Chains A and B, each alone.
Chain A
Amino acid sequence: MTGAKIIVECLKKEKVEVIFGYPGGALLPLCDALYDSGIRFILTRHEQGAAHAADGYARASGRIGVCLATSGPGATNLVTGIATAYMDSIPIVAITGQVATHLIGNDAFQEVDITGITRPITKHNYLLKSTAEIARTFKEAFYIAKTGKPGPVLIDIPVDVQKGESDFDYPDRVDIRSYKPVYNGHPVQIERALAMIESSKKPVILAGGGVISANASEELRTFAEKTKIPVALTLMGLGSFPTEHPLHLGMVGMHGTMYGNNAIMETDLLIAIGCRFDDRVTGKISEFAPHAKIIHIDIDPASIGKNVSVDIPIVGDVKNVLKQFIENIPKTNTKEWIEKITAWKEKYPLTYKNTDGLKPQFVVETISEITKGEAIIATEVGQNQMWAAHYYKFKHPRSFISSGGLGTMGFGFPAAIGAQVARKDKIVIDIAGDGSIQMNIQELSTAVSEKIPVKVVILNNCHLGMVRQWQELFYSKRYAFTCLKGKQPDFVKLAEAYGAKGYRVSKKEELKKTLMKAFEYNDGPVFVECIVEPEENVFPMVPAGASLKEMIGGLA
């Protein structure tokens, strides 16, 4: 069998149903083998779009996303997408073509050392040297991407390796002597943690993306409800615990809720589950959770103790550890603590001045109302992302798809395409800004030709809003390079030029009607451009490097 055919067989063994990619010279044998393989191939219009789409597919489905690009520029165009997946621990397998083995190192046409380039942004990567290695490598790559702390794996395959012949023998199991993730929490640590929880008066759970990747939302809810411990979320944790649950504390950190951040500053025990204490969550690290002991549960030992000192580390899959917790529910009495938090919630809710103009927050609230929290929300990065995080009422895990760690503008639209491919049963909406939507707008063509009914709501404030907000607050309103007034395309015409539907809303009264009409359209992508107030800010906010108690703005 040829190498290319072996690759196709490997993908079938891994039950890959769709590949996002872009062909090229160094991929000709593989593309030819894929052509009539039965595996759906979605041709994106840029390799970056392919990587983000594979990522969005993985986030929405919990399965591994696969993207494909040719050697040289094809491979380097994947880099931002791979780094995005790496920072958020998303399992994708990226396959790149490479120049023939005898040309490697000669600066051949479209040659680039992609394994060298992606070494720091992949969980692992491979450069194949022979056709015989293909099957074992694919088995390992899919195993590594999905197990332990998930992440992207890249396989670089020279064109002669694709053409070469070998037997196809797919291994049943993987045994990598140097890679043995720990899945169960150590019983002694579990016991210590439970005792610490029992003795706490003001405990807080801080749940991150790890809860979602471990499919542990059910367990989280059970544990929180049985112990009556309130649940704060990181950006990546949104969706892991229902927004409207009485124990929900909202997102914490730089744009956290007042009550969430207050709770962090006052808690005596922080139970961190599948999060990594990013600086956007902690603010000034020396003043983070000053009164708290910390229990940290994570599959990745290196995440524990990296940024904050931890009292009880528990290495394990958070689903298993939470199950271990649930078997021995500690006796807690958080009545007074909950009362205090409830009072904060009433006093300092997330709010904005809902004036006559069209406010971006109102747009997100209306989307939330129309979809009843059942949609999958992708976002770009910046103000649009924070407003989506604040005002969409999430009900389910895997319903918030956003570049948390890397903060990649241009992520949301292709990721939404991937998510829609994975979840045909869901309305998928990309909440975008007028800046970031233009970073991968070429994927409109992909969505139109594949009839992928993604909804894109552009919050058009004619600015690169988040940077403008910082300039307003910290750089004397000198709006360096952030004003796009008069420099924008007509988004409605642009959508139509691609063969998509386009709507524009500038009045509050028209919003709901237009959105409903757009959400009902299912024959392809639709743009809804909302002309929102240009200088609206995301509040509350903690300035970079400040303590979480130094919150500004947005108070009722």
Chain B
Amino acid sequence: MSDKNQQHIISVTVENKSGVLARISGLFSARGYNIDSLAVAETEDPTVSRMSIVVRGDEKILEQIYKQLNKLIDVIKVQDLTTEEHIERELVLLKVNTASSNARNEIVQLVNIFRAKIVDVSKKCLTIELVGSKSKVDAMIDLMKGFGIREITRTGRIAICREAGKEK
């Protein structure tokens, strides 16, 4: 369990105020913790924001991250979702070259297989939208590399814990 590269997805609810993101990112950089990705937006309660932070570290580092986050006055709750049943998603938008009509057809087939969507079409390029787990997003990107990727933007992972297990 003491793997330094173990990824964890931490869900942090915070006061929806200016400066809170800076407090959190400052804490991570000051203490030398690595952030793989960070996504943040308002929740059902407009005074609260939720951050989904993907970090790497062993148990000891994770414990410190948990405690240091909790120490910030504006942090309401910290949960390591990796330790419980949860759902993770990431959204990616990518532009792929379509050099020939063959390539275009192949890409459309792959998009269907991945249940992705084509959201913009031009003569030389398709823009694809895909929602999925990290491994699905990675697999799609890997396959598209053969066609030539022009640009990628990813949201980073967001996550929420499952209710089904809790209701038992």
Contacts and interface: CB of A to CB of B under 8 A. Distances in A.
Given A120-B26, A120-B30, A178 B67 contact: no
A119 B73 contact: no
Contact of A305 (B23, B63, B74): B63
Interface residues of A, number: 17
Contacts of B15: 178
Given A176-B73, A177-B76, A306-B64, A115 B30 contact: no
B22 interface: yes
B165 interface: no
Contacts of B46: none
Nearest to A300: B71
Contacts of B14: 178
Interface string A76-116: 00000000000000000000000000000000000000011
A116 B18 CA distance: 11
Interface in A142-183: 144, 176-179
Interface in B28-80: 30, 60, 63-64, 67-68, 70-71, 73-77
B63 A119 contact: no
B146 interface: no
A124 interface: yes
A206 B64 CA distance: 23
B76 A302 contact: no
Nearest to B67: A302
Contacts of A300: 71
Contact of B68 (A116, A144, A178, A302): A302
Contacts of A124: 73
Interface residues of B, number: 20
Interface string A297-308: 000111001100
A120 B24 CA distance: 10
B119 to A, nearest CB: 36
Name B's interface SS: helix
A115 B73 CA distance: 14
A483 interface: no
A176 B74 CA distance: 9
B71 A115 contact: no
Given A300-B71, A301-B70, A302-B68, A178 B26 contact: no
A16 B60 CA distance: 42
Given A302-B64, A302-B68, A178 B73 contact: yes
B67 to A, nearest CB: 4
A35 B166 CA distance: 61
A302 B22 contact: no
25 contacts: A116-B22, A119-B19, A120-B27, A124-B73, A127-B19, A144-B73, A176-B73, A177-B76, A178-B14, A178-B15, A178-B73, A178-B74, A178-B76, A178-B77, A179-B73, A300-B71, A301-B71, A302-B67, A302-B68, A302-B70, A302-B71, A305-B60, A305-B64, A306-B64, A306-B67
Given A124-B73, A176-B73, 12 more contacts: A119-B22, A119-B23, A120-B30, A178-B14, A178-B75, A178-B77, A300-B71, A301-B67, A301-B71, A302-B64, A302-B71, A306-B67
Interface of B: 14-15, 19, 22-23, 26-27, 30, 60, 63-64, 67-68, 70-71, 73-77
